[in-house]
Amino acid sequence: MNAQDNVARSEIFLVILGTVQDGGSPHIGCKKSCCTGLFEEPDKNRKVVSLGIVDASNDTKYLFEATPDITIQMKALAQMSTSSQQEVPDGIFLTHAHIGHYTGLMYLGKEAMGAKQVNVFAMPKMKSFLKSNGPWSQLVSNGNIRISPIRNDEEISLSSDLKVIPLKVPHRDEYSETVGYRIIGPNKTALFIPDIDKWHKWERDIKAEIGKADYAFLDATFYDAAEINNRDISEIPHPFIIESMSLFEDLPEEEKEKIYFIHMNHTNPALDENSRQYSRILEKGFNVARIYDEFKL
């Protein structure tokens, strides 16, 4: 199951806790073949995009994204850490204010967990949004969460061996900024960008950013335009997988191998390991993120 065999529990590692776009799979209102069978027999591994970090040496764990699937994801993360007594992560890093990435915070409130002072890392506009709008503001006023402000390209030191750097990216920023993260362990670095408009709109060179990392978990919402033939593509700006593969096709094989496509829409054939599109991705030297795969940092 693991991308890397025998990731030692005494080390720092990253784990995939979800790979699906905000709306999940099956998707509300979907009548297409991609979801038909899943309403009757859901796939337990289809969870909304999230990463976990376990720092066994410091007995800490961190969650990236607070998704609608946070209940299962938080439990999975707790079971992978050295201290099973502590269910709540030591911190939750948010990327932006779209439903798949922050609404799981609601389960920390008094209607559910009634958590105490969970540390939530958020950019300035994201912090303001949470503090100024219910029901999120109640989480703050009731002390269920405390918000730690973060800033673009400023390092957050979680321990001497674990650092996180938010990287602002262009996306639909109706309520907050959007960021990805560079996650720096003692030996390896991961790049996590689940949402971005298009690679060429970013002020950074994505190829250079991949070069700085050992793993790159990148926005793969749609495989190609055929998937959304009933929607205006300009309204859904994401880099299609075929666009990304074309952009990265000249990279050396060792660079391609770093790339794991993630955040896949319910219509995306890359969710199906038996699809020809999934096979094509692998044939071209790239990877598709799989839930519970682990990566040593």
Delimit the domains of the chain by residue range. Answer: 12-296
Extract the tokens encoding 41: 């027999």
Q: How far is CA 47 from CA 66, 187, 204, 211, 271, in A?
A: 12, 28, 29, 28, 11
pLDDT at 245 over 80: yes
**Predicted local confidence at residue 4, as pLDDT:** 47
Q: What pLDDT, on a 0 to 100 scale, did the predictor assign at position 230?
A: 56
For 117-137, the pLDDT digits (tens) are: 999 999 999 999 999 999 999
Please report which confidence band the pLDDT of residue 232 belongs to, taking 50, 70 and 90 as the band edges.
Answer: low
What is the bridge-based pairing of β-strands 50-55 and 12-18?
antiparallel
Q: How far is CA 95 from the centre of its chain?
A: 8
pLDDT band at 228 (very low <50, low <70, confident <90, very high): confident
Ramachandran category for residue 72: left, alpha or beta (phi over 0 → left; psi -120 to 50 → alpha): alpha
Bridge partners, residue 158, by sequence: none
**Architecture category of domain 12-296 in CATH:** 4-Layer Sandwich (3.60)
pLDDT tens digits for 164-206? 999 999 998 899 999 999 999 999 999 999 999 999 999 999 9
At 144 the pLDDT is 98
Q: Is the pTM of this model over 0.85?
A: yes
- Rounded to an integer, the average pLDDT of 280-287 is 98
pLDDT tens figures, 45-104: 999 999 999 999 899 999 999 999 999 999 999 999 876 678 999 999 999 999 999 999
Q: How far, in Å, CA of 134 to CA of 172, rounded? A: 21
What is the predicted pLDDT for the residue at 139?
99
Which pLDDT does position 226 carry in this prediction?
82
Q: How many CB atoms lie within 10 A of CB 166?
A: 23
